[in-house]
Chains A and B, each alone.
Chain A
Amino acid sequence: MSGKEDKIAPGFPLGERHRDDVRANSGRPLNDLTLSDVLAGNAVEADVAISADTLMMQARFAEEAGYHEVARNLTRAAEMTRIPNEELLRLYESLRPGRSTYDQLLSLCQWVTSEYDAEHTGAYIREAADAYRDTGLLKVDDL
């Protein structure tokens, strides 16, 4: 047991302590996005999307505060910022029960890892492939 840990992560919350340093997924500084910009049409979806860097920082906060599983989730989320909406929805669909064969899941794992530099997400899909194979959750015609 690790005993008492300090649950207060220094640097958290970003909104109060590091607002000036945060950039959106588009690279635009958060403080650069004003109501006037929105009204002038000078703002795109990616300007209000979280970046991988920020999610990694949030993952560190979770880790420091002892929420290790949340940290790992946020690490995978950081990788998924690179995956477009439609691809992400497709990825989810592929992991639902009976949707994919073992080989399909393996290639999905490879594709995600290489295409989006998503090592942890890839490993997670790989792990699912093995679990689905061993517990009968693969696409039926693969059995």
Chain B
Amino acid sequence: MVLRDASGLDALLSHRYPEGTVTHARSKRFQKLRERDINKEVFIREWPELGLKVMDSPGDPDPSLTIKDGRIVEMDGRVESEFDAIDRFIALHAIKLDGASEAMQLDSLAIARMLVDINVSQREVMDVFASLTPARIAQVVGHLNVVEMMMAMQKMRQRKQPADQAHVTNWKENPALLAADAAEAGLRGFAEEETTVRVSRMAPFSALALLVGSQVGRPGVMTQISCEEALNLRLAMKGLATYAETLSVYGTIPSFLDGDDTPWSKGLLASAYASRGVKSRFTSGSGSEALMGYGLGWSMLYLEVRCLLMVKGAGSQGVQNGSISCIALPESLPDGVRGVFAENLVAAALGLEVAAGNDAMSSHSQMRKTAKLMLQMLPGTDFITSGHSVMPRKDNLFGGGNFDAEDMDDWLVIQRDMQIDGGLRPVQEDTVQKIREKGARAIQAVFGEMGFPPITDAEVEAAVCAFSSDDLPDRDSVADLAAADAFLDSDKTALDVVAALARSGFKDVAESVLEMQRQRVLGDYLHTSAIFDKDFKVQCALNTPNDYQGPGSGYRVAGETWQQIQNIPQALDPQKLIEDEAPDGDLVLHRLGDALEGQVPEVVVAVGPAFGTVINRTLADLSHAEVLSAIVEGIEAEGLPARVVKVWHGADLADIGLSGANLSGSGIAIGLQSKGTALIHKKGLAPLNNLELLSMAPNLSLESYRTLGGNAACYATNRAPHPVPMSIDNMARLRLIVHTTLLHHREVRQIIADKPVEELEVMFP
């Protein structure tokens, strides 16, 4: 070390790096980043005054509650006379007064910990939440990070088993395609199916096609149509829909009025549906108020909690929330995805069924979309999405789906990866085609029997095989609309549909549609989180409650369910992958006995135990004959003889190569595994210290092997080697790692530990 005097050091430190020569030029990496899908999105900083704040806005009130003479006279800083209609509704209907003082005195952090604590039961948490004010609830979930929220959701979800909902629509509103898609959705495991309309007058036919198709797919699937409230109710009264989720509520009164409703009118509608034996859930979600211009300076979460208490107060069994169609707005803001999941969690903690969003397009970026989905999919919600499109995006009349027909296999693989139940099950193509045809034929028969404009065989055939409605012939929409109007105005109901199905040979479908009508008489499925299994056995919070309380409890993917989830049709039988392997007919290997040390300049080619006899092709799909021939050619082209030996005592490439080198007259050898991985080794080197290694067998061509042979000869004669040509395919390992494992396993099985290296005479007949 050189000691410097102080002034020398100062001089050294005062020397400045010359800035600004190329720093103003644009970065090519940033350019690429700007082009990425994630940067097609709009991100903004918070603006609380406009309601552009997801959680914990400075405008949010402090929690408080005053009860006098058995009623709430003050809540969250507002006295009774300042209550808007939402406060008033909540105060009257949604806060349990018995125990409210105690619950409100609990520290919000203590309540947050109850949500996560496996020693506190779901019911105990629900009992506390039942007496909290909106501001207190927002404060409680504000303490949780997303992992804690997922833990809490796993416990607070109301139904034991999670499920998923399908969206079934198509641009042409073709009933045969609707029924085929509905049937497929049922087969795939969706517990509910929702449709909507482009032309509202088509609603009766679309509801009908969905009902018939769904029951073909799987008896007990519930169906609904999203259309104007009064029309929706009329269709439900006809028995064409079994549930409704169009009851939208908002966290501020001006937004509510834009939706042309009040808490009381929505509450009455909920009872009206129930009075006709129809299940219903409300709809709410972060961002709608700000979007409508009436965020009023409150956080999106606080507003959503107000909505959820309204939903609970109205006596709805559940809600679809998770921002729904407004999702891009909270996602433009910091912690938007967290806030949206917080609202799912609050709903569950209030004892509501949750259909958790994930239905509207949430991102351009697949990575971001999937990351968001995990919050609901990993812990499981009653419905992981409020609509998972079974069609391609362009046929989704809900404005395009977040997850579409093309994403089905990704979903199934994620279930298999994580051992989770996302509500879907793998299907076989031929089974799907059969069920699609039956769905389309059933609705064809119903249209025929009921005198609606006929569905042709060509439409049925197109519907079975269609990718999208582009593949369907056009229908006479004027005739369809006129017939749909007449059907709506007539006294025809689902019972006429039952008769039409039975008369045309679809007795089993008729029975299912009839049983769905009987279930309206029973009303079991009006309860929290209710769905049916294929035997119309109801599963809901009352008879199959979520009893999660830590590892070993609650819903677990096991037994037959796990078998179904893991058995995706793409999964190959690994034994079949290698059982076809055979000797290479283009390669004759005569065994000449134990190999001896060479005495002349040469290159030894040492092959693995399975080479040419048990395995005959490399991972690059080159035959062993071709590969060996190329190597020998390369060696000989550089003027040296090649000698081929087989290593029996091991399958490790370094071992094979070094064993060859130890026998080589030049001390140089090529080691070659049966899967095609190769190296050049030299006598006296450490096993892993080779001269040249071609580790990516799938990327090698015959030219690579020829050059490798030539290089070995160059090393043996002290000349400079040449670069080995090879393609670059970074996905090769990903694609072929299973084959690599199996091939190598086969090579290892050929090992004879005490057998010496064997000399081979090679012929290429």
Q: Do A and B come from one complex?
A: yes
Question: Which residues of A pack against B, CB within 8 Å?
Answer: 1-5, 7-9, 12-16, 19, 22, 24-25, 30, 33, 35, 38-39, 41, 43-45, 47-51, 54-55, 58, 61-62, 65-74, 76-81, 83, 85, 88-89, 91-93, 95-98, 121, 124-125, 127-128, 131-132, 134-135, 137
| A33 contacts B315, C-beta separation under 8 Å | no
| A39 contacts B502, C-beta separation under 8 Å | yes
Assembled-state Cα–Cα distance A79/B274 (Å): 11
CB distance from B97 to the nearest CB of A (A): 12
| A128 contacts B271, C-beta separation under 8 Å | no
- Cβ contacts under 8 Å, A95 to chain B: 262, 264-265, 268
| Count of chain B residues with a beta carbon within 8 Å of a chain A beta carbon | 82
A-facing residues in B104-158 (Cβ within 8 Å): 121, 123-124, 126-128, 131
| B521 contacts A24, C-beta separation under 8 Å | yes
- Cβ contacts under 8 Å, A125 to chain B: 264, 268
| B523 contacts A30, C-beta separation under 8 Å | no
| B521 contacts A67, C-beta separation under 8 Å | no
B726 contacts A by Cβ under 8 Å: no
> Which chain A residue shows the least CB distance to B80?
A134
CB distance from B139 to the nearest CB of A (A): 19
- Cβ contacts under 8 Å, B394 to chain A: none
A15-B123 in contact given A74-B274, A127-B92 (Cβ < 8 Å): no
- Cβ contacts under 8 Å, B271 to chain A: 73-74, 76-77, 80, 121
20 additional A-B pairs beyond A69-B94, A73-B316, A88-B233, beta carbons within 8 Å, are A3-B127, A5-B123, A9-B542, A14-B523, A15-B522, A35-B502, A38-B498, A50-B276, A50-B523, A55-B274, A65-B527, A67-B527, A69-B314, A83-B275, A91-B272, A95-B268, A97-B256, A124-B264, A132-B264, A137-B85
A-facing residues in B258-273 (Cβ within 8 Å): 260-262, 264-265, 267-273
- Cβ contacts under 8 Å, A61 to chain B: 527, 542
Total number of A-B contacts with CB less than 8 angstroms? 235
CB distance from A2 to the nearest CB of B (A): 6
CB distance from B179 to the nearest CB of A (A): 20
| B495 contacts A71, C-beta separation under 8 Å | no
* Residue in B264, B265, B275 with the greatest tally of chain A CB atoms within 10 Å: B275
CB distance from B300 to the nearest CB of A (A): 23
A-facing residues in B530-580 (Cβ within 8 Å): 536-538, 541-543, 545
> Which chain A residue shows the least CB distance to B493?
A45
Would you list 29 pairs from A and B whose C-beta atoms are within 8 A, ordered by A residue? Answer: A1-B99, A3-B127, A9-B542, A9-B543, A12-B542, A22-B521, A24-B521, A35-B507, A50-B276, A50-B522, A54-B522, A62-B527, A65-B527, A65-B541, A67-B528, A69-B313, A69-B314, A69-B315, A70-B527, A72-B315, A73-B314, A76-B271, A77-B272, A83-B275, A92-B268, A95-B265, A131-B85, A135-B83, A135-B88
A67-B317 in contact given A35-B502, A35-B511, A128-B264 (Cβ < 8 Å): yes
| A65 contacts B96, C-beta separation under 8 Å | no
A97-B521 in contact given A7-B545, A67-B351 (Cβ < 8 Å): no
CB distance from A135 to the nearest CB of B (A): 4
- Cβ contacts under 8 Å, A88 to chain B: 233, 272, 275
- Cβ contacts under 8 Å, A30 to chain B: 518, 521-522
B607 contacts A by Cβ under 8 Å: no
| A43 contacts B495, C-beta separation under 8 Å | yes
- Cβ contacts under 8 Å, B514 to chain A: 33, 35, 38
- Cβ contacts under 8 Å, A25 to chain B: 521
Assembled-state Cα–Cα distance A62/B523 (Å): 12
- Cβ contacts under 8 Å, B273 to chain A: 77
- Cβ contacts under 8 Å, A45 to chain B: 239, 491, 493, 495
| B518 contacts A48, C-beta separation under 8 Å | yes
Assembled-state Cα–Cα distance A86/B407 (Å): 43
* Residue in B260, B503, B521 with the greatest tally of chain A CB atoms within 10 Å: B521
Assembled-state Cα–Cα distance A127/B511 (Å): 43
Assembled-state Cα–Cα distance A96/B263 (Å): 9
CB distance from B554 to the nearest CB of A (A): 14
| A38 contacts B502, C-beta separation under 8 Å | yes
B243 contacts A by Cβ under 8 Å: no
* Residue in B256, B491, B499 with the greatest tally of chain A CB atoms within 10 Å: B499
| B498 contacts A49, C-beta separation under 8 Å | no
Assembled-state Cα–Cα distance A51/B127 (Å): 31
Assembled-state Cα–Cα distance A11/B237 (Å): 27
CB distance from B344 to the nearest CB of A (A): 19
| B272 contacts A80, C-beta separation under 8 Å | yes
* Residue in A30, A33, A131 with the greatest tally of chain B CB atoms within 10 Å: A131
- Cβ contacts under 8 Å, A65 to chain B: 527, 541-542
Contact of A134 among B88, B265, B313, B527 (CB under 8 A): B88
Assembled-state Cα–Cα distance A39/B256 (Å): 46
Contact of B96 among A19, A44, A68 (CB under 8 A): A68
| A71 contacts B315, C-beta separation under 8 Å | yes
Assembled-state Cα–Cα distance A71/B527 (Å): 9
Assembled-state Cα–Cα distance A38/B498 (Å): 7
* Residue in A30, A125, A128 with the greatest tally of chain B CB atoms within 10 Å: A128
- Cβ contacts under 8 Å, B253 to chain A: 135
B744 contacts A by Cβ under 8 Å: no
| A96 contacts B511, C-beta separation under 8 Å | no
Assembled-state Cα–Cα distance A55/B97 (Å): 26
